[in-house]
Amino acid sequence: MIDDERAITKMLDMTLRKEGFRYLYTAHNAVDALKLIGKHGADIVLLDVMLPDQTGFDLCPKIRELSDAHIIYLTARASDLDVLTGFATGGDDYVTKPFNPLEIAARIKARLRRGGLTPVSVMEEKRQRYDFGRFVLDDAAGELLVEGKEVACPAMAYQLLHFLCKNPGIVFSKSQLYEAVWGLDGDGDDNTVMVHIRKIRERIERNPSEPCHLLTIRGLGYKLAKGKQS
């Protein structure tokens, strides 16, 4: 999702997750969008036209150099010339704002079906169940279970915990975590990571102030450990 209107990307993220999608990435400018696509790839790209650093019309051909993803323009620009330009620059679909997010989800699913895919099959091989004794991250169900009970977890805290679960015992700096999870250069974003580390500890630790799973490695960063069984 590439759009500088954060309210729109947040709305789309919530809707698409409810519709079964899990691996969603967001960028609010062209530079970050290219970094994300270069790093993670893409099956579908939702692209705004009016971005702060360049237009979506300029960005679309650059995305095409990195990916054969299905590109859907989502924009307030609704003239015939804009629509024609969208398709001419490499877009596959063109939707004008305001739009119904469920319509976007339906368009994405239709495209995936034509390619023989579904949200589940796209993510199937990536989904796992990570068991750390006291807590389990069930990626197939998108659930965090603590002592057998489901615990609500904010989206980005969930993504951060998921990344750590995939890489247990490995120490990551704050900047490495920010880049890996948020997909952006982590310089200057220590507080964001620290806030989400705290959110995770409040859910998985018996005593968040004395963690035994999500550990701080002094001067280096954080790592996820099995912890002591009790």
Residues 66 and 162 in one domain: no
Which of these three, 77, 102, 123, is where a domain ends? Answer: 123
Q: 118 and 133: one domain?
A: no
SS3 per residue for the chain: CECCCHHHHHHHHHHHHHCCCCCCCCECCHHHHHHHHHHHCCCEEEECCECCCCEHHHHHHHHHHHCCCEEEEEECCCCHHHHHHHHHCCCCEEEECCCCHHHHHHHHHHHHHHCCCCHHHHHHHHCCEEECCCEEEECCCCEEEECCEEECCCHHHHHHHHHHHHCCCCCECHHHHHHHHHCCCCCCCHHHHHHHHHHHHHHHCCCCCCCCCEEEECCCEEEECCCCCC
CATH assignment of the domain containing 118: 3.40.50.2300
pLDDT of residue 123: 47
Using omega within 30 degrees of 0 as the cis cutoff, is the peptide bond preceding 98 cis?
yes
Within a domain: 181? yes
Digit-by-digit pLDDT tens for the chain (230 residues) are 999 999 999 999 988 888 888 788 999 999 999 998 988 888 899 999 999 999 999 999 999 998 888 999 999 999 999 999 999 999 999 999 988 888 898 888 888 777 665 555 444 445 578 999 999 998 877 899 999 999 998 888 998 999 899 889 999 998 888 877 876 655 556 788 999 999 999 999 999 999 999 999 998 999 999 865 44
Provide the residue range defining the domain that includes 92: 6-123
Do 33 and 140 lie in one domain? The reply is no
Shared domain for 138 and 101, answered yes or no, is no
- Rounded to whole angstroms, how far apart are CA atoms 24 and 156? 11
Q: What is the CATH number of the domain that holds 220?
A: 1.10.10.10
Q: What is the pLDDT of residue 117?
A: 59
Last-in-domain residue among 123, 139, 171? 123
Q: Does residue 169 sit in the same domain as residue 113?
A: no
